[in-house]
Homo-oligomer: A and B are copies of this chain.
Amino acid sequence: MKDYDVFHAGDVVLQNGSVLTEATVAYATYGKLNKARDNVIVYPTFFCGNHADNEWLIGEDRALDPRRYFIVVPNLVGNGFSASPSNSVASPGPRFPFVSIYDNVTLQHRLLTEKFEARRVALAVGWSMGAQQAFQWGALYPDYVERIAPFCGSARTSRHNFVFLEGVKAALRADQTFEGGAYRRSPIEGLKAVGRVYAGWGFSQAFYRSECDLKELGFPNLESFIVGFWEALFTRMDANDLLSMLATWQAADISANATYAGDFARALRGVKARAVVMPCTTDLYFPPEDSAIEVGLMPNAELKVIPSIWGHSAGALGLNKTDAAFIDRAITGLLAE
């Protein structure tokens, strides 16, 4: 059963001047748009995630309550559901153009305004690359977006985060069967290597020290966790899709557009929305220090650090109930304001 719809945006001129032919945004919705058309929550997906992976935060007992809000979950371009190297007819595989966070958010804005004629966005929220899109929503549409709640993400990819992702890309490309993106069969060894590289980054040192992979996630040993969790996560992905999303991530910067002309501080000051920014204490690539710098420049933002040893995965998939509850409570508070 297809649990999502597709917004056909036509041929879209991207930020870098190239054209995404027959651009599509796959999206899922939860709840109903009210008569005032102002109960919209936009909740973009993350790296290698899709709309279904966002559902853990949506529910009648949650802040993202579909009885009250019209929740729209647009898939990130490149994730295999929205326009992607793996499904593009006009520019498949390595010919797929570079798509920025800005391009994603302007496409999502068209979805909300053209398809749903939404009058306001009550909240833009997301995890990781989803958080980067939430920040971009706030900076691009300050009079349209009332609140943002980015968690375990950043308004601009840090240099260290960029370097970490260079390692991920290099591990994939070291597999010669990748053939510069022209592979006939999936470069499985490269994708497994991506999983193994990611494994050290996706949770914290303390997570592994406390053996949460065994005690909380139920894997029988460390190797089965690496294989069953990390390798499995990436071997199901298309390699060019992966690289498309990584390029988007590495270039993420809410000020990299005509509105802000690269002035990062001005872009942060431009976020009028009430904001709750939630890094995790032990996140290895979106460390709370970066979030604190961002919040310090935002006029209407509060920093709420998730106290957790789950690292970046404090915000992942509701894996950890305590962290999920922390995030849910913070969003409840934000929506009540």
Contacts and interface: CB of A to CB of B under 8 A. Distances in A.
Interface in A170-225: 170-177, 189-190, 192-193, 195-201, 204-209, 211, 222
Number of copies: 2
A158 interface: yes
Interface stretch (A30-38, A69-77, A92-100, A161-169): A161-169
Given A170-B193, A171-B174, A189-B174, A163 B289 contact: no
B176 A167 contact: no
- Chain A contact residues: helix, strand, loop or mixed: helix
B167 A287 contact: no
Interface in A11-69: none
Q: Number of contact residues on A: which range applies?
A: 35 or more
A173 B195 CA distance: 13
A167 B231 CA distance: 11
A226 interface: yes
A189 B205 contact: no
A284 interface: yes
Nearest to A162: B222
A140 to B, nearest CB: 25
A189 B179 CA distance: 13
Contacts of A195: 170
Contacts of A158: 205, 208-209
Contact of A176 (B166, B176, B209, B289): B176
A208 B159 contact: yes
A83 B158 CA distance: 42
A328 interface: no
Contacts of A160: 200, 204-205, 207-209
B200 A167 contact: yes
Contacts of A302: none
B193 A171 contact: yes
Contacts of A166: 196, 199-200, 226
7 contacts: A158-B209, A163-B226, A167-B193, A170-B196, A171-B171, A174-B192, A205-B290
Given A160-B208, A163-B222, A205-B284, 14 more contacts: A159-B211, A159-B222, A160-B200, A160-B207, A167-B193, A170-B171, A170-B192, A170-B196, A172-B174, A174-B175, A174-B190, A175-B175, A176-B176, A176-B177
